[in-house]
Chain A
Amino acid sequence: MHGSFDQFLVWLALSVSCAYAVSALGPRTWRCGLLRGGAHLAEFCGLRRLASRLADAAAAKGQRACGGCDGCRRG
């Protein structure tokens, strides 16, 4: 595997993991900001459906504030 491609894949995985960890565990304002930022980025890239889902998720995360036991994912 080419060295720089290898580095790129590893850093991509790390960036996605960091973003997810902040979104899942960080303060509510961080989560909302991150998800809204993601929505803007998706819209900029022309991914309307993804942008809409991220915007919805940003709104839902802001309201839920459940603490994160994942029980709310049921149903």
Chain B
Amino acid sequence: MNARPEFAAVPVVALVGNPNCGKTALFNLLTGSRQKVANYAGVTVERKEGSLSMPAGRQLRIVDLPGAYSLDPLTPDEQVTADVLLGRRAGETQPDFIVCVADATNLRQNLRLVFSLKRLGRPMVVALNMSDVARRKGIVIDSAKLALELGVPVVATVGVKPRGVDALIELLDRVAVPAAAAPCSQTAGWQKPSVAEIERDQSEVRRILAAVGADRIEGATFSDCIDAVVLHPLIGPAILAVVLFLVFQAVFAWAQLPMEAIKLAVAGFGNWLNASLPASLLKDLLINGVLAGVGSVLIFLPQIAILFFFILLLEESGYLPRAAFLLDRVMGSVGLSGRAFIPLLSSFACAIPGIMATRTIQSARDRLATIMIAPLMTCSARLPVYALIIGAFIPHRAVWGGLQLQGLVLFALYVAGVAAAMAVAFVLKRIGHGSRFQTLLLELPAYHWPNMRNLAIGLWQRVEIFLTRVGTIILALMVILWALSTYPAPPAGAAGPAIQYSIAGYLGRALAVLFAPIGFNWQISIALVPGLAAREVAVGALGTVYALSATGSDLSGALAPLIASSWSVPTALSLLAWYVFAPQCLSTLATVRRETNSWRYPLMMAGYLFAMAYAGSWLTYRVASAFTS
């Protein structure tokens, strides 16, 4: 992002460090931002910027950069960091000051980057982050001595405590951060360090660690004891399967009460509007357009919140990188690198950050394969569609000793998405000859109790994103869909609901010709179109279309029983199958275009997903029809 002219004179301070050393946590504390933090490497893949007001009133621009092990990048996210620091990024001001964030519990690895950064010749300080964890582990680092050895100021920080950066702010205030963004002659001529230089750095690291008392090799830690069980070749995968399975059970079991409350509130508001407003077009828009559409999506807020609560809990605890480790062999067998796990996991929230997270993958082929399969991971936007159909067609009863049948079906749908992704990756591997297995090199962070503040912020962010989408784009599309379903008015003496004579009605019937072989009626066919903007819009669209198709009474908040009575079971299963492979939303295609710098791959992706969705739905519909007839 270009600097705005009024910010040109404000000094830029860059936060640089190894992956997962707590840069973004520090950034959030310094700037008051709420960027995503998690207990694994590779969360930040783009630069983030915020501002810090110093106690003396001076302003600083704080830039959070993706984690890097050196200035010689191996992955696209490391390239961002190197380019910004070396002043090679177009339209980007070179940082005036560097805060090198070093994990105090793993100083041996972090000091190598400190040496690389020192060679840039920029003024810098070292922030010894996670100093509280280091102290608890018995690692006591003499900061003053370390500063003397490194020749730069050193300060201890705790990125997860509100006052954990006070010392850093005080230091930034004390050391004169230069105001001018003058290009540095040393960075202009920066060259990749030679082997001799790297070896010299390593022996210097060893010497400094011994001097400051941080060269103690730890014995078996608490995390190692847990890993002995969790990473066991047989017990580990079983634990992973049970954890994921329980999450999906909770999504249905815990959400019942709050969902009922929202449903009642929506229905109550609808009744109040019905009684308060005189018969008019506006009333029809508010009740059958806005409330029926938006209300149908809003109901699924508790399920989305519960799903993200568990994902954030696993992220915060440090379990997720272990899952990547456990799945490395499976992923390797279909030609994916273990590094693909985190991007694919991010895709369960939304395919867009998942696709962007592929920047941590070194191999271009692996990165492309991961991008191509990311939309097959079930994003949170699909959850309302699944929940609606499961709620309407799958009985709410326990099976096999207390397991929720609805939760089982939801789990199966998520598994189907993952299985499809693996199958596509395997095919891509077969097509792209010369595929070779990439060894997974992954830092396993120490386990820790989830930080409640981070958990609450993360959960609130997901809720906020969902509510913002409901209140903006979904609301706007529902108003447009209502207009398309209302105009033109039916001719005089026309029989049946007015929607049949509207633009949407004609469009739905035209599309129904294409979708009839897979069991979709014209109402479903209409809903698929706005669903391309965002998948959950399909639920709102069904709410609006069915509200307008009905004669008389207000139907807002009662979509599930309505579709249960008007669709056949094969149709419902076919729609579920459609959404397992559903051609992704337009935003995802735009992101793939940007990340691959070509229209070829988004078009290929749209084509193969549409073909898979159609084939999957056709097969499901035919098989289900054969069993139910």
Contacts and interface: CB of A to CB of B under 8 A. Distances in A.
A75 B352 CA distance: 18
A63 B2 contact: yes
Given A20-B473, A63-B1, A73-B465, A68 B35 contact: no
A64 B356 CA distance: 13
B479 A69 contact: no
Given A10-B285, A75-B50, A67 B465 contact: no
Interface string B465-482: 100110011011101100
A66 B465 CA distance: 15
Q: Interface size class for chain B?
A: 35 or more
B573 interface: no
A73 B460 CA distance: 13
Interface stretch (B152-160, B170-178, B193-201, B274-282): B274-282
Contacts of B461: 74
B282 A1 contact: yes
B51 to A, nearest CB: 11
Contacts of A74: 33-36, 461, 464-465
Contacts of B477: 17, 21
B472 A71 contact: no
A10 B482 CA distance: 10
B594 interface: yes
A75 B479 contact: no
Binding site secondary structure of chain B: helix
A68 B393 CA distance: 32
A5 B31 CA distance: 48
A21 B537 CA distance: 13
Interface in B557-612: 586-588, 590-591, 594
A41 interface: no
B281 A6 contact: yes
B48 interface: yes
A21 B353 contact: no
B483 interface: yes
A16 to B, nearest CB: 8
Contacts of A20: 472-473, 476
Nearest to B379: A69
Interface string B270-305: 000000011011100100000000000000000000
B231 interface: no
Contact of B48 (A9, A73, A75): A75
Given A7-B281, A10-B281, A24-B473, A70 B480 contact: no
B576 to A, nearest CB: 24
A66 B591 contact: yes
A17 B587 contact: no
Nearest to B530: A21
B595 to A, nearest CB: 9
A69 B350 contact: yes
B280 A1 contact: yes
Given A1-B278, A10-B282, A25-B586, A67 B352 contact: yes
Contact of A69 (B31, B50, B352, B533): B352
A73 B34 CA distance: 10
A32 to B, nearest CB: 15
Interface string A1-43: 1000011011001101110110011000000000000000000
Interface in B24-70: 28, 31, 33-36, 48, 50
Contacts of A70: 465, 468-469
A19 B590 CA distance: 20
A16 B475 CA distance: 11
Contact of B594 (A1, A6, A65, A69): A65
Contacts of B465: 69-71, 73-74
A18 B477 CA distance: 8
Contact of A71 (B1, B285, B352, B586): B352
A6 B469 contact: no
Contacts of B353: 69, 71
B475 A17 contact: yes
A14 B285 CA distance: 10
A52 B26 CA distance: 32
A20 to B, nearest CB: 4
Contacts of B31: 75
B282 A9 contact: yes
B350 A75 contact: no
A63 to B, nearest CB: 5
A10 B277 CA distance: 14
A68 B480 contact: no
B476 A21 contact: yes
10 contacts: A1-B277, A10-B282, A14-B480, A17-B480, A20-B473, A21-B477, A66-B591, A67-B588, A68-B352, A69-B352
Please name the 7 residue pairs, one residue from A and one from B, whose CB atoms are nearest each other, closest first.
A67-B591, A75-B33, A69-B352, A68-B587, A17-B479, A17-B476, A20-B476
Interface of B: 1-2, 28, 31, 33-36, 48, 50, 277-278, 280-282, 285, 350, 352-353, 461, 464-465, 468-469, 472-473, 475-477, 479-480, 483, 533, 586-588, 590-591, 594
Given A18-B480, A75-B33, 20 more contacts: A13-B479, A16-B476, A17-B476, A17-B477, A17-B479, A21-B476, A24-B473, A25-B587, A63-B1, A63-B2, A64-B1, A65-B590, A66-B352, A69-B350, A71-B352, A71-B465, A73-B464, A74-B33, A74-B461, A75-B31
